A and B are shown apart, each in its own frame.
Chain A
Amino acid sequence: MRKLTACLLIMLVLVLTAGIFACSQPAPAPAPAPAPAPAPASGPQYPLHDPLVRFKIATTTSLYDTGLWYHLEPIFEELANVEMDIVYAGTGIALEYGRRGDVDAIIVHDRAREDEFIAEGYGINRRNFAYNFFLIAGPSNDPAGITGLTAAEAFQKIYDEGMNDPDTVKFVSRGDDSGTHAKEKLIWGEVGFDYEDVRNSGEWYVEAGKGMGPTLLMANEMQAYVLADISTFLAYNLKTGLKIESLVEKDPIFLNVYAAIAINPETHPKAKIEIANQFINWLISQEVQEIIDTYGTAEYGSSLFYPIATCDIPGCPPEEDYTKPVP
């Protein structure tokens, strides 16, 4: 009987411990040095809302890995009095969640697929709210010699050198159907390749199947070339000290525009459309645009994202795509 009591006691202890843990407040993510995201130190504390309403969004990984959402989340929760659930998903997966109605809004960055998504009736009220640029990073010694080239030229060289010497020249792809991955395929198209041929051409081409941050880390480990958005790159460089450098930056094709889309209540009646609309309007509002303008300036010298209004190169979305509030 004694041993039975002991075991029951142990189980009781486990349950009690769980209860004790449950009562402690969830932590603000930024604060002491071992922070999971390099957000500015003066972020608001993360209060626990009574989860009467849960608003779910699926977000592209590059926005998540920079910690922008950690920063914006509490503000919107306070404003709309909802509990925001942010699910980390590449553009491809986010679109799938949207199609299935498992989230209320999605944040993605692939114009072509966004239009398809909306045309199929899954999404409405699309608005752009921020942009940045991609870059190609690689080992400091640049074995393929791509520094200063255009995007297409750089890719061509990486391909040639990679086929030639796969041990020295490697390329790490997102390989996950994300917006970044879509951009990568676009550039390969510009060079004149069929993506499937590139994929299967040799050992120099590595498919990570991961988010932006983790893919950067893999490229870092392998000392390989990688296509990344500048924000995530800078954030990770600061956080973990990457040993790869940005080698190719200035090219119009690198324009990367983020969009927020609400899930169509006609296809999924349970989608929380009012909150989604409020959310999207809030994203394009003056207040958030100013936050985006200054997010990261302190740490990196320049901001990680740009307010959409400042977009002025070919390929930027028309004004109505970011100024007109949703009904």
Chain B
Amino acid sequence: MIELWNGLLKAIELIVTLDPEVMEIAGRSLRISVTSALLASVICVPLASLIHFHQFRGKRFLINLIQTLYSVPTVAIGLFVFLFISRAGPLGGLGLLFTPAAIVIGQMVLVTPILLGLVISALRGVDITLIDTARSLGASVFQTSLVVLREARFAVMAAVIMAFGRAISEVGISLMIGGNIRGYTRVITTAISLETSKGDLELSIALGIILISIALVVNIALNRIQQR
């Protein structure tokens, strides 16, 4: 118990004094996960619109598949991406393994089902009369989808924020394809798992506090948006 308390005090000291190592790791986590959430959104929001607005055979099945993929374990994704980007794999020539870019790619794969699924739900939530209204006023199919996206903008933003939350709290992908390299690919979650297993509590606790604070901010943002 005393050990825990000491750890907590030292952790707070690390945070308050803006300890460079802690800040560096936290900053990297944020950069990587914000990037993956935003990049994935740029791809998934239009893709989700395409899926939503078009009828095709197997659409029902596709949406079910997307929802099933919400809960793929991160280590499974980590392994899958690892096999692709390892030098021995098909994309090996790019030399991506053990780089922050690799983690971004892995996290993008992770959040894609969530983004697709939630954006499609968001679009579904828009009154169908709106689509008729837009079309009856002369909007083309593309213009109509923009209208629907605008109407659903808050739900779409909530999806992006949720994707970010998922990305920043995962450890399986960062560990497997980032390598937890100090000063390069070490992020909050991998640092915590490394330091804890080595018995160093202060750094773990400090990083844990930061991660929880980020999660809190994300949650508050989400709540305010969803009230719209």
Contacts and interface: CB of A to CB of B under 8 A. Distances in A.
Is any CB of A less than 8 Å from a CB of B in the complex? yes
Given A10-B221, A34-B10, A101-B87, A29 B21 contact: yes
Given A22-B27, A213-B197, A10 B217 contact: yes
A188 B154 CA distance: 63
B95 interface: yes
Given A4-B154, A19-B31, 14 more contacts: A3-B228, A11-B161, A11-B221, A15-B34, A18-B30, A27-B19, A34-B10, A85-B98, A86-B181, A87-B180, A88-B180, A100-B87, A101-B86, A102-B98
A148 B159 CA distance: 64
Count class of interface residues, chain A: 35 or more
A29 B191 CA distance: 13
Q: Which of A20, A24, A99 has the most C-beta atoms of chain B within 10 angstroms of its own C-beta?
A: A24
A24 B21 CA distance: 9
B224 to A, nearest CB: 6
B127 interface: no
Contacts of B87: 100-102, 268, 270
Q: Which of A101, A102, A214 has the most C-beta atoms of chain B within 10 angstroms of its own C-beta?
A: A102
Contacts of A36: 195, 198, 200, 203
A80 interface: no
15 contacts: A4-B157, A7-B157, A7-B224, A7-B225, A10-B220, A14-B34, A22-B27, A24-B23, A25-B24, A26-B20, A27-B19, A36-B195, A70-B182, A87-B179, A100-B86
A6 B221 CA distance: 8
A290 B34 CA distance: 45
Interface in A79-97: 83, 85-88
A65 interface: yes
A18 B198 contact: no
Contacts of B220: 10
B221 A210 contact: no
Contacts of B217: 10, 14
B28 interface: yes
Contacts of B58: none
A3 B197 contact: no
B34 A18 contact: yes
Contacts of B138: none
Main secondary structure of the interface of B (DSSP, over half): helix
Contact of A21 (B28, B98, B184): B28
Interface in A258-299: 268, 270
Given A11-B221, A25-B20, A65 B88 contact: no
A303 B228 CA distance: 64
Interface in A92-150: 99-103
Contact of B199 (A25, A51, A240): A240
Nearest to B224: A3
A217 interface: yes
B153 interface: yes
B167 interface: no
A239 interface: yes
A54 B75 CA distance: 26
Contacts of A46: 183
B27 A27 contact: no
B185 to A, nearest CB: 8
Interface in A14-47: 14-15, 17-22, 24-27, 29, 33-34, 36, 46
B39 to A, nearest CB: 13
Interface string B166-193: 0000000000000111111100000000
A46 B184 CA distance: 13
A56 interface: yes
Contacts of A85: 98, 179, 181, 184-185
A132 to B, nearest CB: 19
Contacts of B228: 3-4
A28 to B, nearest CB: 8
B97 interface: yes
A205 interface: no
Interface in B74-110: 86-89, 92-93, 95, 97-99
Interface string A208-220: 0011011001000
A82 B24 CA distance: 20
Contacts of A100: 86-89, 92
